[in-house]
Amino acid sequence: MNTINETNFEFPQQKSVYKGKVREVYNVNDEVLVMIASDRLSAFDVILPRQIPFKGQILNQIATKMMNDTADIVPNWLVANPDENVAIGHLCEPFKVEMVIRGYLSGHAAREYKAGKRILCGVEMPEGLKENDKFPAPIITPSTKADNGEHDEDISREEILAKGIVSKEDYLVLEDYTRKLFERGTEIAASRGLILVDTKYEFGKTKEGKIVLIDEIHTPDSSRYFYEEGYVERQEKGEKQKQLSKEFVRQWLIENGFQGKEGQQIPEMSDEKIIEISNRYIELYEQITGEKFVKANTENVLSRINENVVNFLNG
């Protein structure tokens, strides 16, 4: 199976290209952005050596569906999807914060809580919780948006405003949009027998000054899901929750001695492990969308993408 590790397209009127951890974004004529979802896998802010078949297609198609399913409550950047791995949208200036919202004490929040911390990003977490318990109300715990290779860092609302990273007026909109999206995402997940545990949203501003949702939304890379069935019983017994998210990759890496810290070696992933991860991504796609996943033809995947994007841009 051909996977997408890197792209080096030259689209008509292309101005520049930005290469992130898992996406590559092409600026066309300072009007639209062409976002290519690669099959790269990142964890602990490190790009892992091997790609995951169909991962980019899965993330792109989930994000597209979720943007369409939330467009009535929050405006987004999306214009078209000319290819299974491509989203084309309005050129935006991204805000330099990621809006993380958590409904449950899981992942990073649980690790901080276990270490004795009760304040996360300036938000108090109540005493007496155990891992994967539900918070009394969802909490917003922003992080600074890292440049290439750097770690995202927790930051409080107060620090964001004090440092002028986002104006107060804009930040209130970001918070409002974040809560609305999480509420809708929670409803969509519940209709599929899932719990949306936590997620992150990214926003940008169009040339006209409109704040819009950008990047991915409610994908396994940006979100954590539990299965609703058996959640209460597992919590009562102190068992691990059955989940659909990238956390299973992080847990495997931790068990094999890697957390992205200096001097640590990335464990080797076998072909079997790669296929297992790909199948987990497909499982989440089908669970969260309620649709059968249809694998795109990857025989000449880069030629396919190039042709579909150029046809759209010339359209």
CA atoms of 10 and 230, how far apart (whole Å): 50
Instruction: Please state, as a whole number, how many other Cβ atoms lie within 10 Å of the Cβ of residue 142.
Output: 29
What's the pLDDT at 178?
98
CA atoms of 18 and 35, how far apart (whole Å): 9
User: From its phi and psi, is residue 17 left (phi > 0), alpha (psi between -120 and 50) or beta?
Assistant: beta
Helix, strand, coil proportions of the chain in percent (round to 5)? 30, 25, 40
The rounded percent of the chain whose pLDDT value lies above 90 is 86
Comparing CA positions, the residue from 168, 173, 203 lying closest to residue 95 is: 203
The alpha carbon of residue 138 and the mean position of all alpha carbons in its chain are separated, in whole angstroms, by 18
Tokens for 90, please give them. 């309005």
Question: What is the pTM for the complete model shown?
Answer: 0.88
Interval 19-67: pLDDT, tens:
988 999 999 999 999 999 999 999 888 999 999 999 999 999 999 999 9
User: At residue 150, does pLDDT exceed 70?
Assistant: no
Tokens for 35, please give them. 């976002």
Comparing CA positions, the residue from 224, 281, 226, 244 lying closest to residue 101 is: 224
Can you list the domains of the chain with their CATH numbers?
A: 14-92+275-313 (3.30.200.20), 94-245 (3.30.470.20)
Interval 238-272: pLDDT, tens:
999 988 777 788 889 999 999 989 899 999 999 99
What's the pLDDT at 273?
93
96-118 mean pLDDT: 96
With bands split at pLDDT 50, 70 and 90, how would you rate the model's confidence at 74? very high
Interval 121-141: pLDDT, tens:
999 999 999 999 999 999 999
| Out of 20-29, 163-172, 218-227, least confident range | 218-227
